[in-house]
Amino acid sequence: MLKVHFTPGTRAGRVIWLLEELELEYEVNIMPFTKEGLKSPEHRARHSLGRVPVLEDGDISIFESGAIIQYVLECHKNGGLKPESSSINFPYYLQWFHYCEGMVMPPMNQIVVQTILLPADRKDENVLRQAQNLLTKSLAPVNENLADRDYLIGNFSAADLMLGHSCFMANRLGCVPDEMENIKKYVRNIEARPAFQKAITLGE
């Protein structure tokens, strides 16, 4: 059985969301977002940097949420959640799948560091403001793309697992301005999915 090493409020939620959407059986090891939880020798044996998610599948142990999603879709898919390579939507599926980590998550990571992880005496308002501005700018093409569709390529796909999760987090951080109405609607569509609700509340 698949086993997910998971911490609430992290990218690991994408993997739980995927497994719930596909109705696959899995175990979950919920770890706190603490040094004791993530930096233990046991977990460092799975991921040398002490990060999540990590997926175990028999003798296979892999990390990186995007890689895990691609692996599960190829090896355990139950309905796909991605277009065929011959589909006109396939290039755009790949584009939005990877846009998340390439453009949206770097400034979001900096926002989390500046608002949550650093002690007060090390926070830098200029760095925070720059990251917030960059995140909002990076979301503009997403908002434009969603003008006439409910999900990134029309139908729900694994690209939404990646970028949709990040849009949800950006909205929760207050970095999606009200004028980005398409992303606001998109986040509501995502929040209404039972599989997402299970993933986002797991361990809380």
Give me the domains of the chain, ranges plus CATH numbers.
2-81 (3.40.30.10), 90-193 (1.20.1050.10)
Local confidence pLDDT in tens for the 204 residues of the chain = 999 999 999 999 999 999 999 999 999 999 998 888 899 999 999 999 999 999 999 999 999 999 999 999 999 987 689 999 999 999 999 999 999 999 999 999 999 999 988 999 999 999 999 999 999 999 999 999 999 999 999 999 999 999 999 999 999 989 999 999 999 999 999 999 999 999 999 987
pLDDT of residue 104: 97
Cα(166)–Cα(202) distance, integer angstroms: 17
Cα(125)–Cα(184) distance, integer angstroms: 26
Angle between helices 194-201 and 181-191 (to 10 degrees): 80
Pull the structure tokens for residue 89: 């939507």
Nearest to residue 109, comparing CAs of 174, 169, 163?
169
Query: What are the E-state strand segments in the chain?
Result: 2-6, 26-30, 54-57, 60-63
pLDDT of residue 48: 95
Looking from the CA of 147 toward its CB, the CA atoms found within 13 Å total 4
Residue 194, Cβ density class (10 Å: 0-12 exposed, 13-18 middle, ≥19 buried): exposed
Cα(203)–Cα(180) distance, integer angstroms: 31
pLDDT of residue 34: 86
Cα(140)–Cα(24) distance, integer angstroms: 34
